């Protein structure tokens, strides 16, 4: 009997479907279900692990960059409890990458995936220069403006008055300087953030090394004794996808992911302050274009009438220059100080 034309929906046509194909399809579906189940299992952290991290007052952190996904550790302590980070001879920003491309550092290998080929000076300027209302940059306005004679005199008088001793003012300033604040501390050596590609690699390092920023903490010895690979399960709020930020911003205002970008800003600020990456600190400082972007996205996340106003303000932000290129600079500078470990 001849096969009926396609589309008739006959039982004979269904019976002609090879059994091997059916078995293969079923097998793939089973694998997908198993993979989903594995992913859900990996995302769950045991009560014992929660107790460990609570006791040592640290947390595992997962950071995704273009070079891959890595694990590290972060703690928060009062500024009076930790020392200044040891930066060593670290080449800040893209100095190492620029030298390598110029052929100055022979024998030094760099991962091209980690170091974007961009003009860092130009992008930093674009990220930090906020245009004034008349379309000119603030810096240009300040350079062009010449103070009048009376303004100059007014500026000089307070300087002379400031030389007079003020005991109360000095005491207030001293108290403000001594007021401790909570600061981030990462697993880092000589100003470079350590990222481990596997939990096993992180645990092996923790057990065998004491020459890093976290070694100064009073709970470090306890972590070395108790940490196991199965404990290295970052919580959702400690997982950061820096590799997706620039691409998301390039998609335009309608597809921006507030949660993704806000989380990226949190980890970038922490890394910048903890490891003294001044360019990252400046790029995300209060009043900068990227900080304005962050505030707008937070307002959108909060919802309500403020969310409507925030969306209108966000649409005025240049998606390519201010947002995408500015964040590309930040991610690139962070990638340049990462020390990948297996």
The tens digit of pLDDT for each residue in 170-221 reads 555 555 567 899 999 999 999 999 999 999 999 999 999 778 999 999 999 9
Tokens (6 digits) for 87: 């930066």
Tokens (6 digits) for 18: 């090879």
Average pLDDT over residues 130-137: 39
Which of 38, 37, 58 has its CA nearest to residue 202? 58
- First-to-last alpha carbon distance for the chain, in angstroms, is 63
Reduced to 3 states (helix: H, G, I; strand: E, B; else coil), residue 37 is: helix
H or E, element range at 77: strand 68-78
Helix 120-128 vs helix 289-302: crossing angle, to nearest 10: 60
- Where is average pLDDT lowest: 98-107, 185-194, 284-293, 332-341? 98-107
User: In terms of DSSP bridges, do strands 182-186 and 68-78 run parallel, antiparallel, or are they unpaired?
Assistant: antiparallel
Which of 268, 238, 230, 198 has its CA nearest to residue 75? 238
User: For residues 196 and 90, what is the distance between their CA atoms, to the nearest angstrom?
Assistant: 19
User: For residues 69 and 240, what is the distance between their CA atoms, to the nearest angstrom?
Assistant: 9
Tell me the pTM.
0.67
* pLDDT given for residue 115 in this prediction: 40
Average pLDDT over residues 227-245: 97
* pLDDT given for residue 312 in this prediction: 79
Q: Which residue did the predictor score with more confidence, 129 or 96?
A: 129
Q: Are 265 and 290 in contact (CB under 8 A)?
A: yes
């Amino acid at each position: 009997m001849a096969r009926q034309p396609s589309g008739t929906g006959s039982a004979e046509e269904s019976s002609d479907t090879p059994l091997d194909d059916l078995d293969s399809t079923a097998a793939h579906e089973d694998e997908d279900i198993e993979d989903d189940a594995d992913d859900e299992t990996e995302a769950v952290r045991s009560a014992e692990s929660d107790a460990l991290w609570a006791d040592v007052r640290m947390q595992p952190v997962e950071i995704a960059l273009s070079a891959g996904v890595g694990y590290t550790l972060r703690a928060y302590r009062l500024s009076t409890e930790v020392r200044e980070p040891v930066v060593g001879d670290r080449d800040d920003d893209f100095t190492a990458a620029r030298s390598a491309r110029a052929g100055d550092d022979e024998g030094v290998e760099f991962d091209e995936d980690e170091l974007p080929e961009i003009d860092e000076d130009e992008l930093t300027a674009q990220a930090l220069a906020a245009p004034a209302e008349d379309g000119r940059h603030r810096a240009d306005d300040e350079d062009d403006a010449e103070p009048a004679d009376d303004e100059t005199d007014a500026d000089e008088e307070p300087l002379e008055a400031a030389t007079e001793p003020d005991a109360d003012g000095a005491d207030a300033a001293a108290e403000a300087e001594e007021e401790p604040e909570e600061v981030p501390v990462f697993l880092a050596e000589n100003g470079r953030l350590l990222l481990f590609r596997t939990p096993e690699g992180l645990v092996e390092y923790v057990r065998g090394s004491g020459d890093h920023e976290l070694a100064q903490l009073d709970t470090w010895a306890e972590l070395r004794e108790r940490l196991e690979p199965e404990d290295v399960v970052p919580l959702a709020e400690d997982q950061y996808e820096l590799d997706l930020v620039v691409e998301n911003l390039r998609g335009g205002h309608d597809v921006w992911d507030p949660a993704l970008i806000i989380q990226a800003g949190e980890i970038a600020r922490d890394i910048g302050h903890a490891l003294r990456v001044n360019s990252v600190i400046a790029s995300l400082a209060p009043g900068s274009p990227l900080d304005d972007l962050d505030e707008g996205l937070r307002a959108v996340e909060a919802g309500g009438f403020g969310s409507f106003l925030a969306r209108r303000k966000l649409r005025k932000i240049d998606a390519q220059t201010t947002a995408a290129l500015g964040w590309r600079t930040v991610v690139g500078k962070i990638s340049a100080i990462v020390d990948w470990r297996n």
